[in-house]
Amino acid sequence: MMEKRPLVWLSAANSNNSIRKELEANWNLIDFNLDEPVPLFTHVPDEARVGVLELPNLSQDSTPWPDSWLEMLDLSYWVAIAPQQPLSGTRAARLIVRYCSDFHTLPVDYKRLSTVLGHLWGMATILEPAGSLVNDDYQNLALLGDSQPIQHVRNLLRRFSKTLEPVLISGESSTGKEAAARFLHSHSARGAGPLVIINCAALPITLTQSELFGHERGAFTSALSSRQGRLEQANGGSVVFSGINELQLEQQSALLRFLQESLVERVGGSAQIPVDCRVITTTSEPLADLIDLGRFRSDVYFRLGSLEVKLPTLKDRREDIPILARSLLEATCQGAEPKQLSRGANQSLLNHSWPGNLQELQNRLRQGWLLSDRPVIEASDLGLSLPVPGSDAAANLSLKEFRARAERQALRCSLRLANHNMSEAARLLNISRVSLYRLMEKYDPRPHNRPTRQRPHRKGELT
């Protein structure tokens, strides 16, 4: 039996139960209540693409606007159900035009609504860009996981992919910065265009102008023909400056004019060539610190955009390690003899500090697969050891990590069981609403002032 597809249902307390019952046969309804305040975080499955918005009577000034909910849930398509035909220029009409791909008036024709939802689901599926194309296994899997930090990163990437503003991705080495850059490109309006990645650490100072901007024939001795630069090659797509913190001040100066005017001039030429591409940069060092040290130009920094994504280290998302390890191990086997991690090996992975982040995890798993002569990989095969029971490391793990995991899991379960009704969730946990909100703030690292953006207008009405 095929698993039901998730369908987000956003409505006030008096929901249309009759049409819901019809849809529940083929959809897994995920409810959100317009009468409740917008939560600090949501638990919508990553595969959710379509939602139904039951519009309340927006003629009353006291009626809450659904805009904040729609921005937070951020689905591919919304279908509205309106009490009556919205009049041009009204609040309902403006909201439908901005956020929805189709609308229905009461009484709802179930067959038509079901057809529209199925069509939108199919469109969202076929238009969804392919995943990362990088060869490194850990890059392909870097954004996997259910921990709050990585969910926050995925949420930001989805939001930032809706705009073409420059984005700065920061994080320690091997935390998946390039995977995040590829995600931004592939999920944006430029996803069908070229993606050009420039390794700033490997860009020689003497060849910066030629590599970035191209050259005309005869510009220098070895210039036997004209050549496009890397920036021209990115026209209509995205350019990623990987490790921009590695650029020397002279190279940063050469880049400044392009960031200001989106124009390039080939070496040996005089034509001003416009380049329309999205700029994504990654850095393993905080650029603000490099400015204080005199190693990075502030005018370049401020033109890299105000949108920033900070990737967590592996030790900050320990609860993702089991799924990452399992997926990396499957990729390592590649059809050969499958091997599994022993309980002790899994515990050793959770206890390790991971200074090398995802690359170190991949290397240790490959080592364990090669060294183990049995179908089970032990901690010693990984080059790791378990803490002695009763030691400080084991005690810290028990008190800090496991308690945090238990609280987070209890919070998620209570919210899910209560359909995100805060009072009911607090009752299930036998705590006050104030304590519930404190727990939500504790396990939600996102800032309260979320970035604003304009959702792309979806043209046309489905019938």
pLDDT in tens, 265-306: 888 888 889 999 999 999 999 999 999 999 999 999 999 977
Longest Cα–Cα distance in the chain:
78
Distance CA 117, CA 35 (A): 24
pLDDT at 366: 87
Query: Which tokens sit at 134?
Result: 């990088």
Helices first, then strands: H and E counts in the chain:
19, 16
Query: Which tokens sit at 143?
Result: 């954004």
Distance CA 244, CA 428 (A): 49
Assess contact for 440 and 39: CB atoms under 8 A: yes
pLDDT at 216: 85
For β-strands 376-377 and 340-341, DSSP reports them as parallel
pLDDT at 242: 93
Assess contact for 339 and 381: CB atoms under 8 A: no
pLDDT at 316: 93
Please report the domains of the chain, with CATH numbers, ordered by start residue.
5-127 (3.40.50.2300), 137-310 (3.40.50.300), 318-382 (1.10.8.60)
Q: Which residues contact 437 (CB under 8 A, 6 or more apart)?
A: 422
pLDDT at 421: 79
Distance CA 204, CA 251 (A): 9
Query: Which residue type occupies 229?
Result: G
Backbone φ and ψ of 25, nearest 5°: -70, -30
Residues of the chain with pLDDT under 50: 1, 40, 129-135, 390-398, 445-463
pLDDT at 348: 92
Distance CA 200, CA 4 (A): 46
Alpha-carbon distance values, 425 to 33, 373, 417, 429, 432 (Å):
14, 49, 7, 6, 9
pLDDT at 63: 56
